[in-house]
């Protein structure tokens, strides 16, 4: 299986290539540089793997939620590649990707994936351990970090840029339910690639972002 994965929904830009089970990655915390880095990284990884775009079996991409501009860059590039080479696309939740990148071995029983959504809000999703991975509890949401209510006492690992920006407000909201913190965690393409088999692939023309927020403004 040869598959490319693209994660651009946040300030962290990440690309991964799987060639016959071996994964190679290019990634960097690079706010507003996604358009500059993405295609060169893809070409570098393919060259290193000794394959070209026609040799891919599919492309995985972060479908959101996330920064609207950066998210659209990744989706647009992946859609173009998939259309040109008639490849299936695996749209993976950014928050599910974040949960896995923060807890890749599935050791935490409960994970809160939380991203800064700007405008004093966060994107959030609650996950529980399931078969070595993470299973979504409820729905992905956007709202005030002070309004977060854990679905059960936990303990919870809170991970992502939302924790980095609004840590104090989140700690006040969750209290004793919050036991571990990973404000440094970002969704990455390696984790996205690992989740691709769990989603239904779509044709390139069917690919759409998941914004969660109705008020769409550039971030």
Alpha-carbon distance of 76 to 207, in angstroms, equals 9
Token representation of residue 16: 């991964």
Instruction: Give me the pLDDT at residue 91, please.
Output: 98
> How much is the pLDDT for 132?
75
Q: Is 103 helix (H, G, I), strand (E, B) or coil?
A: coil
Ranges of each domain in the chain: 2-93+187-206, 95-182
pLDDT digits (tens, 9 = 90+) for 48-68: 999 999 999 999 999 999 999
Structure confidence at residue 219 (pLDDT): 42
**Would you say the CATH fold of 95-182 matches that of 2-93+187-206?**
yes
Instruction: Provide the pLDDT for residue 50.
Output: 96
DSSP E strand boundaries for the chain: 2-7, 12-19, 22-29, 58-64, 89-93, 110-116, 122-130, 133-143, 156-159, 178-182
Domain 2-93+187-206 has CATH 3.30.420.40: yes
Q: In terms of CATH, what superfamily is 95-182?
A: ATPase, nucleotide binding domain (3.30.420.40)
Q: pLDDT averaged over consecutive 10-residue blocks of the chain (219 residues)?
A: 97 97 96 96 97 97 96 97 98 98 93 97 96 92 97 95 97 95 98 96 97 61
| Predicted pLDDT at 217 | 42
pTM strictly above 0.75: yes
Q: What is the pLDDT of residue 131?
A: 84
Which residues have a Cβ under 8 Å from the Cβ of 45 and sit 6 or more positions away?
A: 4, 15, 16, 17, 24, 25, 26
């Amino acid at each position: 299986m040869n598959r490319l994965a693209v994660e651009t929904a946040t300030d962290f830009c990440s690309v991964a290539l799987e060639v016959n089970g071996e994964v190679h990655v290019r990634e960097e915390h690079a706010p507003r540089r996604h358009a500059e880095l993405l295609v060169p990284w893809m070409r570098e990884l393919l060259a290193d793997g000794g394959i070209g775009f026609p040799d891919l079996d599919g492309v995985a991409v972060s479908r959101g939620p996330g920064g609207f501009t950066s998210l659209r860059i990744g989706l647009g590039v992946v859609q173009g590649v998939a259309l040109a080479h008639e490849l299936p696309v695996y749209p993976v939740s950014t928050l599910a990707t974040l949960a896995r990148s923060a807890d890749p071995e599935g050791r935490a029983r409960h994970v809160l994936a939380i991203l800064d959504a700007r405008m004093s809000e966060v994107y959030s999703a609650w996950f529980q351990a399931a078969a070595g991975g993470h299973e979504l509890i409820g729905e992905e949401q956007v709202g005030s970090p002070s309004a977060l209510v854990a679905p059960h006492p936990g303990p919870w690992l809170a991970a992502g840029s939302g924790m980095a920006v609004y840590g104090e407000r989140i700690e006040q909201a969750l209290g004793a339910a919050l036991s571990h913190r990973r404000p440094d965690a970002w969704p990455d393409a390696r984790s996205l690639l690992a989740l691709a088999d769990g989603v239904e692939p779509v044709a390139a023309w069917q690919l759409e972002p998941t914004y969660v927020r109705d008020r769409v403004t550039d971030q």
